[in-house]
Amino acid sequence: MVEKKTAIIAVAVVAILVVAAVLVVVASPDKESSTGLYTVKANVNKDCTGTPFYVGTDIGYFDAYDIDFQDQGALDYGLQPAALISGQDDIYDGHPITIINLLKAGVKVKGVVMSGYEPLDGDINKQHMHWLVDKTRNDGKVINSIADLLTLGHKPKVAVLAEGVCADLEVQVWLTSYGYDLSQFEIVVLSDPYQEAALQSGAIDVAVLHPPFYAAAEEHGDVTVIATSMDTLGQYAGVSLLVFTEKFISEHPDSVRQFIKAYKGAQRWSDDHQTEAGKLTADTIGLSSAVPHWFSYNGVITNADIQPWIDAMVEFGLISEGEFKASDLFTTEFSDLWTSPTTPELLNPFNSKTNESYKWFNTIVGDQYDSSAVDVDHSTHFVEDLEAVDATKPKAEQGTA
């Protein structure tokens, strides 16, 4: 199994380079925007990953930081790394496994800020992925555990978004951590939007879904959650980094800096206003309701956040011991931005047309913004920020202001 997985990753790396060579031909040349800042381009898919881009565009964070953001349209996740390599895209928001695969392909990239993270409050409804089973199976079987799956009379089929991504790796961690062999299960590649229907039809036995798709499936009422991403890599299961190429960072550091400010502002808005972020995401991608991803509030990256991913990849033979260090995946050049405000993001920070159309206005009590209107206990962030930033300092400086 390890040899097969290693071969799959090797083929994927070669495919990235081949597709990138093709994309170089069609990629548009770099252009400076009218604001004097570099135009930042990305392929935004109609799914959970789009929330920061929807918020950034519609609530006004990109405009506020003079970002000329250009949505290149939907693109298969397997091709997005190639789009980054070619210059078709300028940014990529990826998990450590994807970043390592880029590095294995010889692509010089660096994470500049923490993007995704598991919620610290343990709320299952904010967690990165849910493992769902059908509770109305035609065979009448009740599935509440991995052991129950092995009573189905066939090799259980577990669906993942793609090979070499978070779902793929975390499914392997999930199964093996309970003592099961991967050969006892069939891993099926199927995009999140199609997994609920496949589950209900019996084509798969387990759907591994991101928000907002798990929220939609659970709202429909015919599924049971038997595990979440927190059951795999714990608090690090949702870790993703905002990535630029080293070339882009070197040539356009101000653009990177401004985009980090806008992107993290949009993510903090989503964390602070989960209901509104879910509504905006659902309306944009065509769902009745949605739950957005949970994002790192402070953006701090530490080696400890990444090491569990490296350890898992070593365990399953995807990389060799010592081949990569956690620090290979990110730069601290922009670490002065790895912090968070001590007050929540305003619901209506920029008087956008979107806020007006949804009637999302700030609640004022006397002369003060009503922070009780946000969906998160903001009082915990400041302490967490201080601890996280302290951990990134040289040991001699830890505990200092």
pLDDT at residue number 399:
38
Compare 34 and 58 and report the one with higher pLDDT.
Answer: 58
Quote the CA–CA distance of 12 and 15 in Å, as a whole number: 5
Please state the rounded mean pLDDT for residues 334-348.
92
Please state the rounded mean pLDDT for residues 136-161.
94
Q: Which of 72, 61, 70, 58 is nearest to 32 (CA)?
A: 70
Q: Which of 49, 38, 104, 70 is nearest to 247 (CA)?
A: 38
Quote the CA–CA distance of 192 and 195 in Å, as a whole number: 5
pLDDT at residue number 39:
85
pLDDT at residue number 341:
81
Query: How many residues does the structure list for the chain?
Result: 401
Quote the CA–CA distance of 127 and 22 in Å, as a whole number: 37
Two tokens, residue 39: 């135009």
Quote the CA–CA distance of 96 and 102 in Å, as a whole number: 10
Quick one: pLDDT band at residue 10, thresholds 50, 70, 90? very low
Quick one: pLDDT band at residue 227, thresholds 50, 70, 90? very high
How confident is the prediction for the chain on average, in pLDDT?
85
Supply the angle between the helices 96-104 and 166-177 in degrees, to the nearest 10. 110
Q: Residue 15: is its pLDDT beyond 50?
A: no
Compare 22 and 191 and report the one with higher pLDDT.
Answer: 191
Residues 356-400: pLDDT tens digits? 999 999 875 555 555 555 555 544 433 344 344 344 433 333 333
Domains and CATH numbers, the chain: 2-117+239-337 (3.40.190.10), 124-235 (3.40.190.10)
Quote the CA–CA distance of 237 and 170 in Å, as a whole number: 8
Residues 273-308: pLDDT tens digits? 999 999 999 999 888 878 889 999 999 999 999 999
Contact 89, 102 (CB under 8 A): no
Q: How far apart are the first and last CA of the chain?
A: 49
In the block, tokens 């496949």 appear at 198
Phi-psi group of 337: left, alpha or beta (phi > 0 → left; psi -120 to 50 → alpha; rest → beta): alpha
| Sheet of strand 157-160, all strands in order from the earlier edge strand to the far edge | 186-189, 157-160, 206-209, 130-134, 223-228
Quote the CA–CA distance of 346 and 360 in Å, as a whole number: 10
Please state the rounded mean pLDDT for residues 245-260.
95
Contact 306, 332 (CB under 8 A): no
Beta-strand runs (E) in 125-181: 130-134, 157-160
Q: How many CB atoms lie within 10 A of CB 144?
A: 12
pLDDT at residue number 42:
95
Residue type present at position 341: P
Residues 313-330: pLDDT tens digits? 999 999 999 999 999 999
Quote the CA–CA distance of 361 and 346 in Å, as a whole number: 9
Contact 225, 127 (CB under 8 A): no
Give the CA distances from residue 342 to residues 169, 302, 385, in Å, rounded to whole numbers and listed in that order: 35, 21, 10
Q: How many CB atoms lie within 10 A of CB 131?
A: 25
In the block, tokens 């990256």 appear at 301
Quick one: pLDDT band at residue 185, thresholds 50, 70, 90? very high
334 alpha-carbon distance from chain centroid: 20
Helix, strand or coil, per DSSP, at residue 332 = coil
